Structure formats: C-alpha cells, structure tokens
Chains A and B, each alone.
Chain A
C-alpha cells in the first residue's frame, strides 16, 4: 500500500537528478503534495508561489518558455479549478511544456469535504485541446507516468490521490503513454476503470467469477488520448461495459468511453462514478461506500449490464 503522492515525491526528486531543467512549483502545499522532497534536494529549482495558483501556472509557462521542465503541484481542485483558464491560455494553447501534477483528487480527500474534493477536474482538463490527462492506479504507474511526462514535450495533467492505495502493477511495469492495460481476461463483460477504481474492479471481477460471470478488467491510465483500440475491442469481444472512476460521470472516463462506443460499437453500458453531486466530509472508506464506488457496487453494475446484454 502506497499513496500515489508519495510515489510522486520520490520520482520527482529522482528526475531532478536526471534532468537539470526540471523545476517545481507549489502553492503552499508542498508537504501534502510531496514536492517538499524535491525542494529539499534542489532548493534553487523549487519555487513556492504562495497561495496564488493562477500566478503559479503563468510562472510555470514562463519557465517552460525559458527551456525548463516545470512540474506544478497543489490540490486537484485548485490546479484544475482555480487555474483552469490560465492552464488553457498559457499552457495548452501554446503547447507549453508544463506538467500539472495535482494531488488530492476525488472524494477520498475525505474529511476536508466537498470544497476540497475535485470531482470535475478530469472533465475540464479533458476538454482542453493539446492536454494529455493521466490518472494512475497506483505508485508504480505514478512513477512511470511522471517520468513519461518529463520525457515528452507538451502539457500534461496527472491526477494523484491522497491515500495509500494497493499495488495494481508489479515493480518494473513499463508505463506506455496512451495505452490501456488489460489486467484480467474476461469474456462476458468489461470493467474499464481508472485511478483507484481499477483495484476495486479487480476485486469485483473475482467476486463475479464465483457467479459464473467472466469479467475483463481494462485499466485506462491515459484518459486522453484514449486507447481507442482496447476499448472498442472490449466492447466487441465482451458486449457489455461498466466504467468506473472517482470522478463525476459527466465528462470523465465514463463519458470518454461512451462517446467512443456510441460512434463505433454501442453495447449495454453503465457508468459508475459520482452522479452530479459535490463531495462531502467523512472518512475516505466511508465516502467510497457513500458514493457507490465499492467492489459490491461494481458487481451490481456488472449484473445490470449483463441483464441488458442478454435480455
């Protein structure tokens, strides 16, 4: 068990040694986002911008224009939400080499409540041209995604989480930008999931096997650009899809998959996620139940799409 933000702190400090042009900006949350690890190792290349996210993003653009590779971190709601238009205008429009890597995405932020729980960030980042959007499932994938962002020119949004999450990928797994991963074979239906919901889907698949339902699990790390091939293949081969994400069902992975399949291979589908609501205070595990994001909820969703497929 390891939080993706902890993996971020470590890989960022390692990248600092590999790339002398990597610089990091934070908005007074470096202890929480773990950019403090980088700051300690490379104090000259770390800029605390104070509680001023709009300026932080613009500053990152300027650093990129001067040849640097800036990583920008704060909580997801303040990065994607507060600084959305700055990201659009100064980062994505000119294809600036800026990496937005927020932590504390989704409802598992927990006790801080709805004000701090970003459930719309994937949607609004995905809507911006030139933006690559990644939501890693675990620590291993986070390392790969962050390293890929440093290696590839252009704007990235990598959404990380606050809490410890189980390992989905083995050490040494190679992250391939824009490619989904079939983590469990299956022929009756497919879970297409991202972030923390992939581990939940793997559990749900085990439970469904006992009911005689063969569930495939496809993890989508890179939500944009979407791995169209793996999604259409799943629809064609299994004929029923359940998407799952710790995010609104409006505009996120569920939408991306729906949009694609509606135009290519429509099959019975259900989107598991937050249904047009804000978050609320509570313990992370309580909120997972409250918002219907447990393996049991996924099992229920799988049964429903199976019924529609067979009926």
Chain B
C-alpha cells in the first residue's frame, strides 16, 4: 500500500540497505584493486530491491526449487551481486575480501560452479536474457510460480543475441520473466549514444512485444512499484528500463566512463566512504 507508514518504513529500510551495500562494493573493490565500480554502483538499488524485498529465495537453501531466479547478464557488475548475496547470508562477508583472487569462489564474473546463489555463468555480454528465457520456460513446464529476473546493461543491448532473446520471450509469451535494463548511458569507450546508439530502448522492447515500464533506477519506491506491477502482467514479458547514473553515490565516480573497470585507490576509498555516510574504514 503506497503511502502507508509500513510502506514508507520498508522503502527507508531498502534505501539504507542499498547504502550499506554501496559501502560494501567500494570496500570490496578497493581490497581487490580490480573490478567494475561504475556499473556495480548504478545497478545496486535494483539488486537491493530484488534480494531484500521482491524475490522469494532462501540463502540457507540456494537450490530451493520454488525460488525466484536472478541472472546478472551484465556480469561485470558481479561485486553488486556478491555484496547482496553476502548480506543475505549465502556466504560469509569475509569472502568478499577474496574477490578476484586465485582460489576464491568469487570470480571476476559470476560463476555458478562456485558461488552459492549464482544461477548461471555470465560475463560475456548479451547472453543472460536467453538463459532467463530458458529458465522461465523450464519453470513454466513444471508449473512453478517462480519468476525470473535478468539485469542487463544498456551498452549490452548492442549485442544482437539480446534481440534474438527479446523476440523469443514475446513469442513464447514468457510472463514469468522480467528484464531490468540498467541504463547508465555509459560504456567502456564512452557514451552509449556515441559508441553505438541503442535508443530508444523502451520503444525497441515495445515493438518486440514486451510490456515496458520506464523508471528512475535509483528511486526505490519506483523500482518496487515497477517490479510489483510486472508480476501482474500476463502473456507478455516485462522490461523495466531504469535510467541510472554510473558510479551512483560517489560524486567522483558519477557519470564517468573512466570508472567502468577501475577499482578505487586509497584516496578514492576514503572519499567514497565519506560520501556514503561512512566515516570509519
């Protein structure tokens, strides 16, 4: 119920959770000195909403058959998923300090073989939506109510396979599927619009037969509303096109393609922690 005290408390709880996870992302990346800062920070509000409010899942039993599934198609934002999984209790938070190290289950990009809560292997862009389709079809064959969520980048939409998959989701009327596009408008080489324009994203998905919602990807209330509404849409897949800011939460990182694949140094970490309202290291 929008506007009720409970709802307001829930939104505040999720906003606080997202702030905590941002802190965890910058600390994790600082420790590993390798990884993707910008795209992790742009996606974290949506990932927070999914893991801490929307999805049915059980960290004690990652293979629970009735669980909802999450696929991080933009696999380079792995730190965002890892901090959420650790916070939810899938594995000890100390594991985060081993990100990208030899022998760690926290690979540079999500690897289902080692990390509890990671459903498939991603990292090579453009493949997650296909996998989400397959999962959703498999769940439908088994008459399960589980839903599948796939988070894509806007730059990732340049991959042709995404549109092969988008065609198939609509063709097979996969309504237990929701794609979220983290549209932060930047990719490694610069502005998405200049590198290879993918817009208008919403219109493209609509023309492929999808239900489309466009939101501010950092507005927790809007994220929750969009995800809840998507559950009610029948016979169509839903795409949530979320306008986001790359590096969101730390002004030095915001709107900068240069922080796509760069981890914070000591000075940047201190500044980031200050910005995120966390003065202790």
Contact = CB atoms under 8 A, between A and B. Distances in A.
A93 B131 CA distance: 14
A50 B167 contact: yes
A63 B168 contact: no
B127 A86 contact: yes
A65 B138 contact: yes
Contacts of A62: 120, 130-138, 148
A85 B125 CA distance: 11
A61 B141 contact: no
Interface in A43-71: 44-45, 47, 49-50, 52, 54-68, 70
A23 B138 CA distance: 9
Contacts of B59: none
Interface in A226-259: none
Interface stretch (B15-23, B111-119, B259-267): B111-119
Given A68-B141, A94-B111, A63 B124 contact: no
Nearest to B136: A62
B165 interface: yes
A95 interface: yes
A89 interface: yes
B168 A65 contact: no
A30 interface: no
B270 interface: no
Given A61-B120, A86-B127, A89-B121, A54 B161 contact: yes
Contact of A49 (B120, B128, B168): B168
Contact of A90 (B127, B148, B171): B127
Nearest to A20: B141
A90 B137 contact: no
A64 B135 CA distance: 8
Contacts of B128: 58
Interface residues of B, number: 36
A89 B123 contact: yes
A27 to B, nearest CB: 10
Contact of A68 (B121, B122, B130, B138): B138
A86 B134 contact: no
Contacts of B113: 93-95
Interface in A75-123: 85-86, 89-90, 93-96
A170 to B, nearest CB: 38
Given A94-B112, A94-B113, A58 B165 contact: yes
Contacts of B161: 52, 54-55, 58, 86
B164 interface: yes
Given A90-B121, A94-B113, A58 B127 contact: yes
B172 interface: yes
Contacts of B139: 66
Nearest to B118: A94
A47 B129 CA distance: 16
B142 interface: yes
Contacts of B165: 55, 58-59
Contacts of B137: 47, 59, 62-63, 66
Given A49-B168, A86-B161, A63 B138 contact: yes
B172 A63 contact: no
Interface string B28-53: 00000000000000000000000000
A98 to B, nearest CB: 9
B134 A59 contact: yes
Given A58-B134, A58-B161, 15 more contacts: A50-B164, A52-B164, A52-B167, A55-B164, A57-B130, A62-B130, A62-B132, A62-B133, A65-B120, A67-B142, A85-B124, A93-B111, A93-B113, A94-B112, A94-B121
Name the 3 nearest CB pairs between A and B, nearest first.
A62-B134, A58-B130, A66-B138
